[in-house]
Every structure is written in C-alpha cells, then in structure tokens.
Amino acid sequence: MPVTAEPGRDVVLTLSSPDRPGIVHAVSGVALEQGLTITDSQQFADPSSGEFHLRMELRRDGDGAQGRPATGPAGIADLRAAFAPVGERFGAQWDVHDRAEPHRVLVMVSRMGHCLNDLLFRARNGQIPITVPAIVSNHEDFADLAAWHGIPFHHVPVTRDTKPQAEQRLRELLAKHDVDTIALARYMQVLSPQLCADMSGRIINIHHSLLPSFKGARPYTQAHDRGVKVIGATAHYVTADLDEGPIIEQDFRRVDHRLTPEQLAQAGQEVEAAAFSRAVRWHAEHRVVLRGGRTVVFN
C-alpha cells in the first residue's frame, strides 16, 4: 500500500561515514532533542570498506512543537542545521530528505514500452513516490500512452549525426522540468560521457540481462546462443562505460531450451519491468547508497 507522508514532518536521514562507535547514539540523540520519532532505522557496517551507512525514517511529533515549524522547507532546513554538528564530528556524507517531496523523474523510452507502462502505473497509484513531468523518446510509439497519463511527450529523434543536438534538447527539458533523475525505460541510445558525468548517480537504466553477462546489444540472442536456464534483468546507474554502472536491482526467471530468442525477450519483459520499478522506487525513497562501483540498498 502506498505510504502517504506529511510534508516536512516525515523525513529520511541518510548518512555514510568512516565506521566508529557512537554514530547511531549521536544521531538518535539529535532526533530526541528535535522531537523526532524514529519510525524505521537500517544500518550497515561494511567490513570491506570500513564505512558505516545509516538510513533513518523520522517523524516530527506535534504541530510546530517548541515553536519549530512542523512542515515545509523551514522544517527541513532546521533539521539539517540540527544534524550538521553530528555530520561534522564523524566526517560523514549525509542529508535530510522530505519524504513528502516527490522525486521528479524524466522517463526515456524507445520502442519497447513494458517498463515505461509499469513505472507510469505505479507512479499514478502511489506505489512509487515520483512525479513524471515529461516522457522523452526517439520514436513516437508511446505518445498516446503519455497523453492518457496527461504527461507531456517529447519526440526527440536521434541519429549518429544529430546526437549532440538531441542531447542539448534533453538538457533543456531537464532544466525546464527541474528533473532530479532520468529513468531509461528501455531507451536504446548511448548517452554521452558528459551527460553521464553531469548526472552521475541520477540516471537509472534497465538492461535486459543479468549483468555482467551479455552486455551491449541483443542480450537475449546472446543468452539463447549460450543455452541459459535463467534469464534476467539488471537495473543500474548509467556511466560512460556501457552497461558497467553500479547495480541497483536484479531479477530473474527460469527458461529452457524450447524458447527462441524472441520468446526469451517476451518472457523477460515481466522481470525487466519489476526490477526497473523497484530500482526507481528505492532510489526515490533514498534507500540506495552509491559507493564507488557498488551499492548498498536498504530495501
């Protein structure tokens, strides 16, 4: 069931720092001082990196208790001010996020619409806390679907020669719609290294194989030729290195020798959409910690 959060009252604190005793104690102490109830808390002390990662869901009790605003940007700003000394003390990367502020996700698609369709449905019914301000495609196949959802659709054709202009148009739309994250819902064009760098950790792609197997084009043909007994999908952050970005979520299903590459592709659509929608939701809910080439996911 979708969780309805209240603006400024329901917040998420995310923190990563070198591991040492006292971090949770310090954070929960500030929560107590600020009249916050801890409604969920997950942490991971990574033995391979020596880092400590924390995700805490907090609710401010009362309406403006002790004169503090319970809602709105002021609520977030004063909570950030309150937690700042703890962040400083532990040398942490941290932030406080308003759970009621929907993540603004621009979705890109080419000619396969199953991931787009699943994401739009889940966003519409509140299962995923995102707003989709625009859909961009290098084809016109899903203009009707966008219209049904009442979402602006931008056809931005791409050829080898027009890629720079197409990406400039994309950048204009990112700025116009104040986009937080780009979701590539089976968008089949390679993004430039510059855009990947500018949007590092903010572009999510669904690749239709269990990476690192079967990178690049036609992964189901590669899988068929290898005689696989499971197929799957990988949602990952996008980097300049094609299909090499940090993995967020994977899903799979069993198959056998009877399926052709086309039938494998058909069978894979369900797991692709499931993995993609979970990855976008976890990202929007600040559950994904991106550290180097790996992720920690508090799901």
Question: Cα(153)–Cα(33) distance, rounded to whole angstroms?
Answer: 47
**Of 160, 164, 163, 219, which Cα lies nearest the Cα of 186?**
219
CB of 58 or CB of 170, closer to ligand LMY7XDAE: 170
DSSP 216: S
Are 60 and 41 in contact by the 8 Å Cβ rule? The answer is no
- Alpha helix locations (H) across 56-104? 72-89
Contact 224, 218 (CB under 8 A): no
- Quote the least distance from Cβ 239 to ligand LMY7XDAE, whole Å: 6
Per-residue binder mask for ligand LMY7XDAE (CB under 6 A), 134-173, x = binder: ----------------------------------------
For the CA atoms of the chain, what is the radius of gyration?
21
8 Å CB contact between 105 and 124: no
Q: Which among 98, 118, 243, 251 is annotated as catalytic? A: 243
Distance between alpha carbon 237 and the CA centroid of its chain, in Å?
8
Nearer to ligand LMY7XDAE, 90 or 187 (CB): 187
Q: Which of 36, 54, 191, 247 binds ligand LMY7XDAE (CB under 6 A)?
A: 191
Look-up of token digits 């056809």: 155
Let me know if 180 is a catalytic residue: no
Return phi, psi of residue 163, to 5°.
-55, -45
The residue from 184, 233, 279, 296 that contacts ligand LMY7XDAE (CB under 6 A) is: 184
Residues 223-252 that bind ligand LMY7XDAE (CB under 6 A): 238, 240, 242-243, 245
Interacting residue with ligand LMY7XDAE among 42, 43, 127, 189 (CB under 6 A): 189
Select 38 or 267, whichever has its Cβ closest to ligand LMY7XDAE.
Answer: 267
Please answer whether residues 239 and 192 qualify as being in contact, where contact means their C-beta atoms are separated by less than 8 angstroms. Answer: no
Q: Does 205 bind ligand LMY7XDAE (CB under 6 A)?
A: yes
Reference 88, options 30, 6, 168; nearest CA is 30
Q: Which of 103, 207, 224, 286 binds ligand LMY7XDAE (CB under 6 A)?
A: 207
**Residues recognised as catalytic:** 243
Q: Which positions lie near ligand LMY7XDAE, rule CB under 6 A? A: 184, 187-191, 196, 205, 207, 216-217, 238, 240, 242-243, 245
